[in-house]
Amino acid sequence: MKRTKLKKTEKSKNQEHKIIKSKEEWEKELTPDQCFILREKGTEPAFTGKYYDNKKKGVYACAGCGQELFVSNAKFESGTGWPSFFKPAKEGVIVEKKDYKMILPRTEVLCATCNGHLGHVFNDGPKPTGLRYCINSGALEFKEK
């Protein structure tokens, strides 16, 4: 199977609006699970997050800052147990960074506004992008439309 090369996300248009807080400030605003995922780069167990099977129409925003990240029409069933999307809501809302925590390098996905860890992106998604943004439910808030 031919794999599509990952597309680099443009530098955030929100760079001048970056949200920077201390660990203590984040702990006051987020749940322990949200802190674990967004601030400590944790991962929730597969098939346990509240959005992996969500089929409602709406927008998925960052649980840390409210930045709209993904829309429901870009969500697809990947079978992985995490919400999966084939593209972000718009250019510049996420940033990608190489992650060397596992044996093989992966591409980490971060919120461009608050630098919160969202998940990872892989080259095994559906058309039209061929990408699978595998995102933790705990990093997201869903706004139904």
Name the burial class of residue 123, with classes exposed (0-12), middle (13-18) and buried (19+) by CB atoms within 10 angstroms of its CB.
middle
pLDDT for 17 = 73
Q: What is the pLDDT of residues 62-114, one digit of tens each?
A: 999 999 999 999 999 999 999 999 999 999 999 999 988 777 889 999 999 99
pTM assigned to the model: 0.86
Out of 12-16, 45-49, 61-65, 124-128, which region has the weakest mean confidence (pLDDT)? 12-16
Q: Provide the annotated active-site residues.
A: 134
pLDDT for 7 = 40
pLDDT for 102 = 73
Instruction: Please give the CATH architecture assigned to the domain spanning 15-144.
Output: Beta Complex (2.170)
Domain range annotation of the chain: 15-144
